[in-house]
């Protein structure tokens, strides 16, 4: 009887071109953590999602809206020396605190830097790390249809953590313990990815599940309340988008420092429209209504029965997210539940 077939790689000596910029695959939200031998569990880094390509000796870098990020994050150019040509990887840009945890405030300052001199100053003050977690193309060959159980080991064969590049080390089976360890470290949460999942570029799919320690979501800003006597903000009015209509979701008070508040106020003043939603709950003369172009991340405890956020707090700017992506996503029930075990989670020890 012939032996069971296995997959081999065959490189052909023809010039191949990479596809146009891919959009990243996104997770669904899970209602609770779980254990499963069918999933790899990664840290949810709460950074800027970015895909990187190596082509003609240069590194291309782009986010969820396909806008070019390479000039803003020069640290990633080192990938040209670490990966083969005609390769695309998926990852996330973070700025860490001294303990190795993502620092949202420092990341926001990196995002706001524009122009070579400003980027150089921001990179010196708040160096970014590119956390690499998936392989999409290798030497011009697509790996999108390969299961994660093949993509991840191949990535680890190709790339090692060094300097400002960090290759993730997922945990199998122990999702509950990994989630508890992430909470203890003050991290956003955990992403569970099915080992048999292909990479569905541009899709949000339940093969990947986000389990959050603190709930958060992206919202588009539709208005603001100015702070009395200052060019700052008292509150943001945020909304979700269902493909046709914007749905106001609440007032976000707090979470932004003076610098962020001032930058937001300046941007929002230029978007003023005076057009209020047709909803009596929002009849407030203090609110300045704006064109929905700015996206922010918001932490909150839960949704109430009227579709409003409970205890929302500003968590950061999301320039890489389009307003049309700010949909209210349903919760997915976890595959199974079991008793937790103890697992130690290691954060990357990166040069500061």
Per-residue pLDDT tens digits for 88-120: 999 999 999 888 889 888 898 898 888 899 999
Domain boundary, last residue among 212, 243, 259: 212
3-state DSSP call for residue 23? Answer: coil
Both 132 and 239 in one domain: the answer is: no
| The two three-digit tokens of residue 178, written as one number | 């990994």
Q: How confident is the model at residue 4 (pLDDT cuts 50, 70, 90)?
A: very low
| The two three-digit tokens of residue 168, written as one number | 């993730």
Domain boundary, last residue among 212, 230, 258: 212
Both 220 and 201 in one domain: the answer is: no
Does 236 fall in a domain? yes
pTM of the model: 0.79
Residue 99: Cβ-neighbour burial (10 angstroms; 0-12, 13-18, 19+)? exposed
Instruction: Please compute the mean of the pLDDT values over residues 157-162 and round it to a whole number.
Output: 94
CATH code of the domain containing 221: 2.40.50.140
Whole-number pLDDT of residue 306: 87
| The two three-digit tokens of residue 182, written as one number | 């992430």
Query: How many Å separate Cα 255 from the centre of its chain?
Result: 19
Q: How confident is the model at residue 170 (pLDDT cuts 50, 70, 90)?
A: confident
> Could you tell me which of 184, 179, 200, 153 has the C-alpha nearest to residue 30?
179
Both 202 and 59 in one domain: the answer is: yes
Domain boundary, last residue among 212, 236, 267: 212
14 versus 167: the higher-pLDDT residue is 167
Both 54 and 30 in one domain: the answer is: yes
| The two three-digit tokens of residue 183, written as one number | 């909470």
Instruction: Please compute the mean of the pLDDT values over residues 203-217 and round it to a whole number.
Output: 92
Domain coverage including residue 247: 216-332
CA distance 154 to 152: 5
> Is the backbone of residue 178 left (phi > 0), alpha (psi -120 to 50) or beta?
alpha
Q: Is the pLDDT of residue 342 over 60?
A: no
Both 54 and 197 in one domain: the answer is: yes
| The two three-digit tokens of residue 209, written as one number | 């599940």
Residue 277 burial (CB count, 10 A): 18
CATH code of the domain containing 153: 3.30.470.30
Q: Can you name the residues that pair with 199 across neighbouring β-strands?
A: none
Residue 66: Cβ-neighbour burial (10 angstroms; 0-12, 13-18, 19+)? middle
* Beta carbons of 278 and 261 less than 8 angstroms apart: no
Both 202 and 222 in one domain: the answer is: no
- Please give the tally of structural domains in the chain: 2
Whole-number pLDDT of residue 305: 86
CA distance 232 to 260: 9
Q: How confident is the model at residue 156 (pLDDT cuts 50, 70, 90)?
A: very high
Both 49 and 143 in one domain: the answer is: yes
Q: How confident is the model at residue 352 (pLDDT cuts 50, 70, 90)?
A: very low
Residue 201 burial (CB count, 10 A): 17
CA distance 316 to 223: 16
Which whole-number Å values give the CA distances from 116 to 66, 91, 120, in the listed order? 20, 23, 6
Q: What is the pLDDT of residues 63-87, one digit of tens each?
A: 998 999 999 999 999 999 999 999 9
């Amino acid at each position: 009887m012939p032996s069971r077939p296995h997959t081999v790689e065959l490189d052909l000596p023809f010039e191949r071109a990479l596809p146009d910029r891919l959009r990243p695959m996104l997770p669904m939200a899970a209602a609770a953590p779980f254990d499963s031998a069918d999933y790899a569990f990664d840290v949810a880094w709460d950074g800027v999602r970015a895909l990187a390509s190596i082509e003609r000796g240069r590194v291309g870098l782009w986010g969820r809206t396909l806008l070019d990020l390479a000039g803003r994050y020069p640290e990633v150019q080192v990938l040209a020396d670490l990966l083969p040509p005609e390769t695309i990887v998926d990852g996330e840009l973070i700025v860490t605190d001294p303990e190795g945890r993502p620092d949202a405030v420092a990341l926001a300052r990196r995002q706001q830097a524009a122009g070579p001199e400003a980027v150089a100053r921001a990179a010196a003050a708040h160096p970014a790390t590119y956390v690499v977690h998936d392989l999409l193309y290798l030497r011009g060959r697509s790996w999108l249809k390969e299961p994660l159980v093949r993509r991840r080991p191949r990535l680890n064969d190709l790339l090692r953590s060094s300097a400002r590049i960090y290759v993730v080390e997922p945990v199998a089976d122990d999702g509950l313990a990994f989630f508890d360890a992430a909470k203890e470290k003050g991290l956003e949460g955990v992403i569970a990815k099915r080992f048999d999942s292909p990479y569905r570029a541009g899709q949000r799919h339940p093969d990947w599940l986000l389990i959050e320690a603190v709930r958060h979501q992206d919202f588009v800003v539709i208005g603001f309340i100015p702070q009395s006597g200052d060019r700052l903000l008292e509150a943001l009015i945020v909304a979700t988008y269902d493909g046709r209509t914007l749905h106001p979701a609440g007032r976000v008070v707090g979470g932004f420092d003076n610098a962020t508040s001032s930058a937001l106020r300046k941007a929002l003043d230029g978007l003023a429209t005076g057009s209020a939603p047709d909803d009596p709950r929002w009849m407030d003369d203090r609110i300045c209504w704006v064109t929905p172009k700015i996206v922010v991340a918001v932490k909150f405890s839960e949704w109430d029965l009227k579709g409003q956020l409970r205890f929302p707090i500003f968590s950061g700017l999301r320039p890489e997210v389009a307003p049309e992506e700010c949909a209210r996503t349903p919760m997915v029930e976890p595959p199974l539940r079991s008793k937790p075990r103890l697992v130690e989670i290691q954060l990357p020890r990166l040069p500061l």
